[in-house]
């Protein structure tokens, strides 16, 4: 293996980016490349970027400048992902040593672009516009976890929320056929994967090109595959969240009892400014469907504070929404303008200090809500998928069907292997995690505990 056929990849951003990198790695390895863990040992250095956060492009160029010291060693550099699509060929001007700039919608062309790179081209671009209908599918995904894996079922976004850059960097919404998704999940199950997570910018906006299955029906079909224990999905858009999704979770024990449903604001006025395409009342209607389910479904959300035009009264509506819904987790952020988005022309009249104060108020309120909601699990027995072991605390770490972190002891010197499912009785609760003890022998407990139903264990029982 020549040094030029080695590569190093650094990934930033969301689960979509992480899974994109798994597919990129698989594609590179299929083309004869070998991955290394140190950029100094790589002939090709790739930087998979995200543009969601403030000043993301500045961070990218700062990182590229750090790579610059390796330029004289004959290495080649590539920028992938959202910042690549956003900045385009301007990257070549600011970092002339970069040879490849490719947005996520063009990853299917990677073999061709790699061949051009090997032939000596120094300015190769893969910058698809919003017209492409193709998705990035490959059987050669280099999955980093042998038990839990991602499946992208829909790429791109058509929602055009006023603050969001994704529609401009990932292209229009385009879904895979249900047959291709089920076949990928079947291959994963046959290989020993027991948990899959459907991914998409708006995963529940999925539209089967073959017309065979709705999103809810696709969830059920994968959940019924032999060997499949848990099926998750993220992220859902409230506009396309339908009652049949809740009915599917209720009827299919392998579908995890967790829904991440970003609200962004509790004020209908701010939601309108954000172009979110629903009102507070419509959002709460969807929450009522979830709360009416027979299973107790965990709910999490995303919130932006300080959006242009948000008043004290608007913010108070967001705070009251927390109590009305009772989220199990909230991912909250201060508003920051992103390139090419409609909110750029909106007067950002909320001072930074006020944004910080609002964010703190919100998170303090949410912490109290979680203290109560997590406290309800005290004494409960739930199934936990083992993820690792913390030797300092002498605890096994894992996650419940509701996507809650559980740290527990086993009473055995032999620790359970990653990927095992164990019944755990909760003995202590915190606002962000649970502590417990494994039931019936800990590490020797059967890994074939029954699927999760209401997070309880009847014979002693990952979004």
Q: What is the pLDDT of residues 222-256, one digit of tens each?
A: 999 999 999 999 999 999 999 999 999 999 999 99
Question: Which pLDDT tens digit goes with each residue over 364-420?
Answer: 999 999 999 999 999 999 999 999 999 999 999 999 999 999 999 998 888 999 999
- Closest by CA to 269, choosing from 302, 307, 222, is 307
The domains found in the chain, sorted by start residue, are: 3-126 (3.40.50.12160), 381-444 (2.40.50.140)
Q: Tell me how many degrees the CA angle 270-273-278 measures, rounded to the nearest 5.
A: 75
Distance in angstroms (rounded) separating the CA atoms of residues 28 and 223: 31
**Range among 48-62, 85-99, 365-379 with highest mean pLDDT value:** 365-379
- Whether 137 shows a pLDDT value over 90: the answer reads no
222-243: b (≥16 Cβ within 10 Å) or e = bbebeebbbbbbbbbbbbbbbe
What pLDDT does 443 receive?
46
Name the residue with higher pLDDT: 189 or 451. Answer: 189
Point out the least confidently predicted range of 110-114, 128-132, 193-197, 380-384.
128-132
Q: How confident is the model at residue 445 (pLDDT cuts 50, 70, 90)?
A: very low
- How large is the average pLDDT for residues 324-329? 98
Distance in angstroms (rounded) separating the CA atoms of residues 208 and 182: 12
What pLDDT does 3 receive?
62
Distance in angstroms (rounded) separating the CA atoms of residues 93 and 86: 14
The pTM of this model reads: 0.88
User: CB under 8 Å to 391, separation ≥6 — which residues?
Assistant: none
- Closest by CA to 141, choosing from 132, 154, 151, 133, is 151
The residue whose two tokens read 């290989």 is 191
Half-sphere exposure of 461 (CA within 13 A, CB side): 17
User: CB under 8 Å to 223, separation ≥6 — which residues?
Assistant: 231, 252, 254, 255
């Amino acid at each position: 293996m020549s040094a030029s056929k080695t590569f190093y990849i650094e990934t930033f951003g969301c689960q979509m980016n992480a899974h994109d990198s798994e597919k990129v790695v698989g594609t590179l390895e299929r083309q004869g490349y070998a991955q290394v863990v140190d950029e100094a040992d790589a002939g090709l250095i790739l930087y998979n970027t995200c543009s969601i956060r403030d000043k993301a492009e500045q961070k990218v160029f700062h990182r590229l400048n750090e790579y610059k010291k390796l330029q004289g060693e004959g290495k080649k550099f590539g920028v992938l992902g959202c910042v690549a699509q956003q900045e385009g060929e301007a990257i070549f001007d600011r970092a002339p040593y970069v040879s490849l700039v490719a947005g996520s919608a063009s990853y299917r062309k990677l073999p061709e672009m790699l061949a051009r790179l090997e032939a000596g081209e120094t300015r190769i671009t893969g910058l698809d516009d919003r017209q492409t209908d193709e998705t990035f599918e490959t059987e050669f995904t280099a999955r980093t976890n042998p038990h839990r894996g991602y499946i992208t079922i829909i790429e791109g976004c058509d929602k055009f929320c006023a603050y969001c850059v994704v529609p401009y960097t990932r292209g229009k919404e385009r879904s895979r056929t249900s047959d291709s998704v089920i076949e990928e999940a079947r291959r994963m199950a046959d290989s020993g994967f027991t948990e899959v997570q459907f991914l998409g910018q708006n995963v529940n906006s999925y539209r089967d090109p073959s017309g065979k299955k709705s999103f809810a029906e696709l969830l059920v079909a994968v959940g019924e595959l032999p060997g499949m224990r848990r099926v998750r999905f993220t992220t859902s858009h409230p506009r396309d969240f339908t009652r049949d999704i809740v009915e599917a979770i209720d009827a299919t024990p392998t579908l995890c009892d967790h829904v991440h449903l970003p609200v962004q604001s509790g004020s209908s006025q701010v939601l309108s400014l954000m172009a979110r395409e629903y009102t507070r009342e419509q959002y709460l209607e969807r929450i009522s469907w979830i709360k009416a389910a027979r299973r107790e479904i965990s709910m999490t959300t995303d919130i932006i504070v300080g959006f242009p035009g948000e008043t004290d009264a608007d913010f108070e509506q967001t705070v009251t929404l927390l109590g009305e819904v009772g989220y199990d987790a909230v991912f909250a952020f201060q508003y920051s303008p992103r390139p090419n988005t409609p909110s750029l022309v909106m007067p950002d009249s909320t001072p930074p200090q006020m944004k910080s104060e609002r964010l703190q108020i919100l998170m303090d309120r949410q912490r109290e809500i979680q203290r109560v909601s997590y406290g309800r699990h005290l004494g409960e027995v739930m199934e936990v998928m083992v993820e690792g072991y913390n030797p300092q605390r002498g605890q096994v770490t894992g996650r419940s069907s509701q996507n809650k972190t559980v740290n527990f002891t086993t009473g055995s010197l032999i620790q359970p292997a990653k990927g095992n499912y164990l019944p755990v009785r909760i003995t202590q609760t915190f606002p962000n995690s649970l502590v417990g003890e494994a039931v019936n022998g800990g590490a020797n407990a059967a890994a074939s505990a029954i699927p999760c139903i209401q997070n309880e264990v009847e014979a002693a029982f990952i979004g």
